[in-house]
Structure 1
Amino acid sequence: MLCGAVVLLCLSVAVLSAQDSCPAAPGMPGIPGLPGRDGRDGPKGDKGEPASGLMASKKGRVGEPGSEGAMGKRGVSGEPGGKGELGTAGEPGEKGEPGESGVVERAAFSVVRINNDYPDRTSIIRFTKIITNLNDDYDTQTGRFRCRVPGTYFFVYHASMDTNLCVKMKLGDTVLASFCDHRRKPKQVTSGGLAVYMSRGQEVFLETSDYRGMRGNPKAYSVFTGFLLQAH
């Protein structure tokens, strides 16, 4: 038993000795590993020394101004600004040259009734003989005065009458005043007047009622007069 164990031990030593004396074959290359992550930034370095010699830079001279470029396109308009503060009063200007006086507007008429017939009942009384009629504002065909210059006018009539007379002074369809008189003498004169504001194009006239004793003859005229007091 002891001799057998010694033999096996010797054989094992021999085999191991033979394996150590033979060179080993190279193995297969391994798989490349994954790329590593970037390292952290290092601390900022100290400021270097100024360059010297040929490496040192020199400041150049200021160049000449370039030529003016073309005008650019107009930009978008901005929002309107707020109202500024009131400025100081300026110096008085020089006195101007004398000018011509303004044109004064005038309007006036005075007309006569020479028809010895009585006017028709409730009709416009026509005065056909002209004494004064600026710009033909009074129409002898219609018996109406048409306003050309807006303002305040005064109208008055004087009537020769041989019977009762009632006269209405009207502004268009509006009765301004009504005047009535009853004959007390064979020959009698009555009158009436008032001031009224008129706009351009309005008309004033006299109108009869049932009492229409207004006559007109060379010895006893009936007169209607109007004139502008103040233009507006």
Structure 2
Amino acid sequence: MFGFLLVLSVLSLVDPVPPPVPCRQCCDDLEPAEGSGAQPVMGGFSRAPEIRTYINMTILKGDKGDRGDRGTPGKPGHEGPPGARGPAGSKGSKGQAGLPGDPCKVHDSAFSVGRRKSLHSLESYQALLFDTVFVNLDEHFDMFTGKFLCHIPGVYFFNVNIHTWNFKETYLHIMQNDTERAIVYAQPSDRSIMQSQSLMLQLELSDEVWVRLYKRERENAIYSDDVDVYITFNGYLIKASVEGRDADGSSDLTLDEKGIH
């Protein structure tokens, strides 16, 4: 009780402070003109403006974070048009020699054919055709054209035997492609004889060897019959070229190895 009286005695010693009186004008009691947009004064005091807090987020930007994991790759796009062909590159250097070939690999080529019909010269040259086969390894001799086709480059031996015709000249050539290599010749005689010619030729891939009867500029013929074979043509490979390399250093594959038959 004593404390309460002490507080009252202290408060009675402090002079009360009157509240502040706002400044007013003589027109403050007037209502604002209609349509002016001014706020009316309530109780002689205008309403305080509303204050809203605004935070600028740009000044609150933090540090750059760590890089995230790589996402899954997207679908491939459409394939573009092919580009133009580039310039040819420079020629490369010569490669190393290959390993030795199989010593057991052997190339063979041989034929022996005959003719049972006589043949007389015409206005043009004739290839001597044959109708009897004795040997024709891998069909290297073409019976339809009368020509041997070289499938294996190398050195070959060829031989042709013919029987002359009485009182007629015999005039033939052993041909390599379109070049005359050796002649088979006999002058007209009252008796027929056997004539023979042999030679060796260095052949390249696809070379042709055949026998050609001369044209009618000279009346010539060869004799044979259906009973005995008087005309024969033979050839065989003596030595194949160095495998895989020829004179100009290019490939020396056989026709069979190149898929040509």
Instruction: Give the TM-score normalised by structure 2.
Output: 0.48
Paired with 1:185 and 1:105, the residues of 2 have a C-alpha distance of 46
Using the alignment, how far apart are the partners of 1:185 and 1:220 within structure 2? 21
The residue aligned with 1:153 is: 156
Per the alignment, residue 164 of structure 1 pairs with: 169
Instruction: Rate the CA distance shift 1:185–1:132 in 2: closer, same or farther, 3 A.
Output: farther
Give the structure with higher Rg (CA). 1
Q: CA deviation at 1:214?
A: 1.3
Q: Which residue of 2 aligns with 1:76?
A: none
Report the alpha carbon displacement of residue 102 of structure 1 after superposing the two structures with TM.
Answer: 1.6
- Which position in structure 1 is the counterpart of 2:138? 135
Shift of 1:128: 1.7
What corresponds to 1:91 in structure 2?
A: none
Give distance in 2, aligned partners of 1:105 and 1:220: 30
> How much has 1:137 moved relative to structure 2?
0.7
Alignment-derived partner of residue 230 in structure 1: 239
Tell me the distance in 1 between the aligned counterparts of 2:121 and 2:232.
Answer: 14
Q: Mapping of 1:78-97 within 5 angstroms?
A: none
Q: Pairwise mapping of residues 136-215 of structure 1 onto structure 2 (< 5 A)?
A: 136-162=139-165, 163-209=168-214, 210-215=218-223
Query: Which residue of structure 2 lines up, in the alignment, with residue 219 of structure 1?
Result: 228
Distance apart, 1:151 and its partner CA: 0.3
Compute the displacement of 1:211 (Å).
4.5
- Correspondence list, 1:67-146, <5 A: 101-118=103-120, 120=122, 121-146=124-149
- Spell out structure 1 runs of 4+ moving beyond 6 A: none
Q: Could you tell me which amino acid in structure 1 is paired with residue 237 of structure 2?
A: L
Distance 1:167 1:226, change over 3 A: same
Which has the bigger relative contact order, CA under 8 A and spacing at least 6?
Answer: 1
CA 122–191 in structure 1, closer or farther in 2 if over 3 Å, else same: same
Task: Write the deviation string for residues 181-229 of structure 1: whole angstroms up to 9, x where unpaired.
Answer: 1243523110111100001111010101135321221235200001111
Q: Separation in 1 of the partners of 2:119 and 2:184?
A: 20
**Residue aligned with 1:224, SS:** strand
Partner Cα distance (2:115, 2:221) in 1: 13
TM-score, normalised to structure 1, is 0.54
Give distance in 2, aligned partners of 1:157 and 1:183.
19
Q: State how far apart, in whole Å, the 1-side matches of 2:134 and 2:174 are.
A: 20
Q: Deviations over 1:8-28 (max 9, x none)?
A: xxxxxxxxxxxxxxxxxxxxx
Measured at CA, do residues 211 and 205 of structure 1 come closer, stay the same or move farther in structure 2, by a change above 3 Å? farther
C-alpha root-mean-square deviation of aligned residues, in Å?
Answer: 2.0
Name the amino acid aligned to 2:146.
Answer: G
* Structure 2 portions without partners, runs of 5+: 1-101, 242-261
1:166–1:211 CA contact under 8 A, matched in 2: no
Call closer, same or farther: CA 1:212–1:141 in 2, change over 3 Å: farther
CA distance in 2, matches of 1:223, 1:148: 22
Deviation at 1:103, TM superposition (A): 1.7
